[in-house]
Structure 1
Amino acid sequence: MNSSTNQKLEIQKVESSRIAEVDFNNLTFGSAFTDHMFECDYKDGEWQNPTIKPYGPLTISPAAKVFHYGQAVFEGMKAFKDDNGKVWLFRPEQNYLRINKSSVRLAIPEFPRDVFFEALTTLVKLDKEWVKPGQGNSLYIRPFVIATQVGVSASPSSEYKFMILMSPAQAYYTGDVKVVIADHYSRSANGGVGAAKAAGNYGAQFFPTNLAREKGFQQVIWTDASKHEYLEEAGTMNVFFRVNDTLLTAPISDRILDGVTRKSVIALAKNDNIAVEERPVSVAEIVEAAKNGSLKEIFGAGTAAVISPVSAFSYQETIYELEKQEDGFATRFKKELMDIQYNRSEDPFGWRYEVV
């Protein structure tokens, strides 16, 4: 599979912007999209026709393999505008590497780096007015790949479409989040696609999450598929536990996504001389810590929500409340992350990527 293209990026601009139609003070996450999108097709063994065009619907055969065999992967990333009007991406190289890692796992050809970054930065510059300044405001960016070959034979597609969509966003979660620890349903299994951002991973979560919501919980903390003894992820996020003053999180494996926010939180913690343990974290350990008072915090970490504190968790019908931490790790890491993202502080890690 050839993961390069010699074709130049074509740009088709909209005649007039739709930005005036959007109420930026009342955004529903992922429901409004910017004026332009990026599209590139894989045919005859190579990526072709990289194009930025006006946002709009696709024409695709109902026999496209994505609908029948689920060959689809995606990424989630953000652009931020600082107080001087400059626009920044946060660790985009990590998203580029991960979408190709996900693609390889689903037998999808890798996408060329130069085309990815040219398309990404050109697209953000074209629609930079959609990036609003201010705390919590951002531009959510969704690169994704789908299988487009027509045919329902059970085999990898020979044709694909790589796209990038962008959506203005505000804070993803508001208020306290209550979770239930899974003891029956699983997110992923050994040797599966849990470490890939495969579309089907998320579709399979919806039913058990709906069951949790019927009981008053917003999300599920997933456990290992074999015995449900170890804690792995929270909803669509990586999950952290603070026991006394030590931060615990599950190690990366073929079941657990290598989250960009996760690795950023770990780097921030180590930079702040906070003890971090990346190791299997058992349900029994966290339940006992909740009982004896040493469990101080649980929080999810992901691109959309950044940091999402958990106020209570349920396990086998018993609810454990967590005392609110006014100046806890979750608050601290969220502020440190967002200060870097919005160019309000030094960036000792080199995470910011200016769109120029």
Structure 2
Amino acid sequence: MKRSTWLPAVLLLIIAVLACSVMPAVSDSDTGIGETQVALAVQQTSLAVQQTAVSSGGEVATLAPSQPTYTPYPTYTAAPADTAVVVPPTAFTLDTAPLDIKELIKTSNILIYEDMAGYPDLLPIVERTVSSMNFSGGKIMNTADRLGDFKSQANSSTKWDLMIVAAESRIAFSGEMFEMMYDHINNGGAVIIEVWYLDEVANGKIAPILSKCGVKFFRDWERNYQYDPFSYSIYWLDKSHPLLSSPNTVLPPSYPYPEWFTDAGDLLELGSGGDAVLVGGVHQDRKSDYGVLASCLDGRMVIQTFSSHDYKWDIVQPLWENYITYTLTRHYETTP
């Protein structure tokens, strides 16, 4: 049978109350005597309780001394340092660099065919224009009228940015020469073509270039010695086109001083494909045919079908500077 453990505690409490009730009152001067008497009474009470518990066969409960309540200190967390977030710099690439078209143009690689070598009285317009534009850092190769040199340079390892063909005096530039230019165009290069004999080669190797551009041969343009100058004036069909205003604002070649007779050039019309725009023509109200100056291939190509030396130098030479500037600009803007 399980023994009761609370009976000794009750007896201890009763004896302590009786002991306190029979103690005489003490004055402040008898404080030490009173404390002694209390201590003896408590000791006697404790012995009595133990004797009672033993006699009753119970166990004495050992009371653990009372412990003060422990209040833990709050956990201290250091405030984070006020450190600025450091962002690593972005790697410099061509994609993040500002595109300075003017600087790129200056360092261009340009291959030129201009067949004026046999005419010492006529200044080579392309050569003089390129020289005046202060190119540096790239490669400028003028093969004059040497077809073999042009062919070898076109097939060389040089990555040409612009190819210029100013075939003003002869019809020698044809056939495979235009095939090489077509490959150059497909690789993102810029081209300027001055040709007056489309009526003789339009269905040959130049045909893919014309088709890709979006123009085609319309009709031959003849001039005899009894010509009316105003019948050979050129008009701007798209006056807002940048080809006519940057870097030079150019007036139309409105009055010819011909060097060449019988054949004045060729007239163009827009084809069914491509993105060609007729910029100049011989009739102000005809925007899709009777053209002599066109731009196409996102501006990377210019084709002129009149002879430069038939018009005043101070008009045609700034126009050629615009051709070169515009085609190279569009080359760098549109080619990765």
TM range (shorter): under 0.3
TM-score, reference length from structure 1: 0.23
Where relative contact order (Cα < 8 A, 6+ residues apart) is larger, the structure is 1
TM-score (normalizing by structure 2): 0.24
Report the structure, 1 or 2, having the larger helix content: 2
Work out which of the two has the higher radius of gyration on C-alpha atoms and give 1 or 2: 2
